[in-house]
Amino acid sequence: DTPLSPIPFALRIRPLTCTETRRGDRQVVRSLGDGTVHVTEARHDATFGFSAVFDAGASQEAVFEGSGMRQLVELAIDGFSCTVFAFGQTGSGKTYTLMGPLTQSKSQPSSPGLLGLMQRSFTYLLEQSRSRGGDLALSASYLEIYNEQVRDLLSPGPPCALPLRWSKTRGFYVENQLSVDFESLETITDLLLQGSQRRQTSAHALNRHSSRSHALLTIHIRSRTSILPTRVPQPSACPSKLGTLCFVDLAGSERVKETGSSGELSVEANNINRSLLALGHCISLLAKPRGKRTHIPYRDSKLTRLLARSLGGSGITLMVACISPSSRCLSETLSTLHYASRARKVTTRR
Ligand code: ADP
Ligand code: MG
């Protein structure tokens, strides 16, 4: 038996925004170094531990290097199902951490220093592919879950819902999802940009570009040599080398009442919260010792179905919790930190 290891869990505290500073918000979260953060002004001051903490001054590069993202890319190349997901309330920096500041066009790319975990991973993956003489065949798919419907972000035309199915061999999978081959950074960056623009966004009191959907970009990595006919039959112990690297940008975790949502917006918010609750439920059940584990209700939401393999199986997950340091966000920040400390107890088999 391989040892159980806790899910690596990074925390990123974004800087106070100009608006927050102007209106006099206080900074209530501080990194204490050695992986802990301290929250003041809560009913009781509280300290939380993480595998890595990045405060307002941390660069995008520091997050890539210090979170374990580089190693995750390597594990995906080795054939593992790897997932990184960013969660936290709207405006806490999830998209910034994954993609950098959003640019709306190809003509004005962000400065290289601001590129997020995704672009840095693509660069590293392509470097690795080149150093193996182009041995890796790469393709990408990009989905969103919006109001409990799975949509393809890469297929042109109006978004249509795709069925999510289950089979014994594949587990949960999305039928007819588009998968696009790529060999250059430019191609995959274009796919990312096109897909992100198709993502549902709507005006919102907390963040005008608040994303109301969960977005999952998956890179499929196949080793070309393992699919060529081989003279010697492959020993059965040799796994078929098909790795995946999935980036999950979760919708905001805030509660409805604080965002002033109404009507259609509140239906969205309820669906978002229901799937985050389902995710939290699966995570807390997985946190129990293996012998005492009951059935894990992956089927409770589309999100947990799509993440079943990475959370429960032999998948490897990296979590990045994002928070604002502002006093105005205190209760959401605490709920993110509590959610994270529960999830940190989950162990996976390597
Ligand atoms: P979310 O995706 O969680 O809703 P965003 O990533 O859109 O949040 O971030 C909200 C705002 O804060 C954006 O304007 C973003 O550019 C800014 N921001 C987030 N994190 C950082 C950071 N680490 N450094 C500078 N600006 C940031
Ligand atoms: Mg976002």
Q: Is 57 exposed, middle or buried (0-12, 13-18, 19+ CB in 10 A)?
A: exposed
Distance 5 CA to ligand 1 centre (A): 30
* CB proximity list for 74: less than 8 A, separation 6 or greater: 128
- Helix axis angle for 60-67 and 117-131, nearest 10°, is 60
Segments of the chain with pLDDT less than 70: 1-6, 42, 102-109, 200-211, 226-240, 255-272, 287, 313-314, 345-350
For strand 242-249 and strand 81-87, is the pairing parallel, antiparallel, or unpaired?
A: parallel
The rounded distance, in Å, linking the Cα atoms of 77 and 118 is 15
Confidence at residue 3, expressed as pLDDT on a 0 to 100 scale: 46
The rounded distance, in Å, linking the Cα atoms of 183 and 134 is 9
Helix/strand/coil for 245: strand
The pair of structure tokens assigned to 56 is 């307002």
Confidence at residue 179, expressed as pLDDT on a 0 to 100 scale: 95
Annotated binding residue 92: yes
DSSP annotation of 58 reads -
Residue 231: φ, ψ to 5°: -70, -45
* Cα–Cα nearest to 328, from 112, 89, 2: 89
- Report which ligand 1 atom has the smallest distance to the Cα of 96: 6
Confidence at residue 264, expressed as pLDDT on a 0 to 100 scale: 60
Confidence at residue 94, expressed as pLDDT on a 0 to 100 scale: 94
Specify the residue with its C-alpha closest to ligand 1, atom 11: 91
Residue 266: φ, ψ to 5°: -75, -25
Confidence at residue 104, expressed as pLDDT on a 0 to 100 scale: 56
Confidence at residue 5, expressed as pLDDT on a 0 to 100 scale: 61
Query: What number of H helices and E strands is found in the chain?
Result: 9, 17
Do 253 and 88 contact (CB within 8 A), yes or no? Answer: yes
- Report which ligand 1 atom has the smallest distance to the Cα of 90: 4
Confidence at residue 44, expressed as pLDDT on a 0 to 100 scale: 73
Confidence at residue 278, expressed as pLDDT on a 0 to 100 scale: 83
Question: For residue 143, how many other CB atoms are within 10 A of its CB?
Answer: 26
User: Which architecture characterizes domain 4-100+114-203+210-226+241-252+263-349 according to CATH?
Assistant: 3-Layer(aba) Sandwich (3.40)
Widest pairwise Cα distance in the chain: 70
Annotated binding residue 90: yes
